[in-house]
Amino acid sequence: MSYPLNIASIKNLMESVDCLLRHGAELNKTDSKGQTALHCAASAGHCRLIRKLLNNKADVNANDSNGDTALQCAAMNGQKDAIPMLIKGGADVNNVNNEHCTALYWAVSGRHCGVTEQLLNSKADVNAKDSNGETPLQWAAMKGHKSTVKMLIKGSADVNIINNKKCTALHWAASEGHCDVIEKLLSSKADVNVKSINGNTTFHLASKKRI
């Protein structure tokens, strides 16, 4: 179920939001997805509305049903202009959702480089692990996002962190055949001899891909 304030926030209907708030609409009431009006506005990048909701004391760190905050919703949708506003409003840049994903993870997974840079500059934990033990760097390496890999390494990402299967970012890059990412990781002192839980080194994985 969606509530009138949430619907108005999704559609960026400022006058409707004003009217609803004047008549006592619950600012932090959640819909069937556990989202507040601020989640809705942040996902869509409606910055004037975000400012209005924050000025009216919207809970900037409210979690939806997936454990995501408005900042995480903005990050996953690449809403670059909304990010600094939410952070200035007190958003926790390192909040983890039900899968232990942070806003930085969502920005990286969506290949939103501008948002990734903003979060790194706002002290996001570059080495935070999700429920599989993977960091944003490992995800970027797996997908072959070289520019993101470079940005994360510049932001002090640990190139040798292992996930729950003892794989590093280099394992992922090798297994997917991303040569340019492999080169960047090796030049950043990635350990080529780390063995995964299955006993595979990056050389074994690269050989299977005939790199």
Q: Which residues lie below 8 Å from residue 143, measured CB to CB, with a gap of 6+?
A: 109, 111, 176
Average pLDDT of the chain is 95
Measure CA 193 to chain center: 30
User: Residue 171's pLDDT is what?
Assistant: 95
User: Residue 206's pLDDT is what?
Assistant: 65
In this predicted model, what pLDDT tens digit does every residue of 21-71 receive, in sequence order? 999 999 999 999 999 999 999 999 999 999 999 999 999 999 999 999 999
CB 95 within 8 A of CB 71: yes
User: Residue 201's pLDDT is what?
Assistant: 82
In this predicted model, what pLDDT tens digit does every residue of 63-109 receive, in sequence order? 999 999 999 999 999 999 999 999 999 999 999 999 999 999 999 99
Residue with tokens 């996001």: 124
Residue type, 175: S
Q: Name the H helices within 23-135.
A: 37-44, 47-55, 70-76, 82-88, 103-109, 113-121
CB 35 within 8 A of CB 51: no
Statement: residue 208 has pLDDT above 80: no
Q: Percent of the chain at pLDDT above 70?
A: 95
Which tokens sit at 112?
Answer: 């939103």
Residue type, 83: I
| CA–CA gap between residue 105 and residue 56 (Å, rounded) | 29
In this predicted model, what pLDDT tens digit does every residue of 107-123 receive, in sequence order? 999 999 999 999 999 99
User: Residue 211's pLDDT is what?
Assistant: 43
Fold adopted by 126-211: 1.25.40
Nearest to 28 by CA among 53, 2, 1, 55: 53
User: Residue 89's pLDDT is what?
Assistant: 98
Sequence ranges of the chain with CATH classification 1.25.40.20: 1-103, 126-211
CATH class (in words) of the domain with range 1-103 = mainly alpha
Residue type, 202: T
End-to-end, the C-alpha distance of the chain in Å comes to: 51
User: Residue 209's pLDDT is what?
Assistant: 57
Q: Percent of the chain at pLDDT above 90?
A: 91
Residue with tokens 């409606």: 46
User: Residue 1's pLDDT is what?
Assistant: 59
* Residue 20 confidence class, pLDDT cut points 50, 70, 90: very high
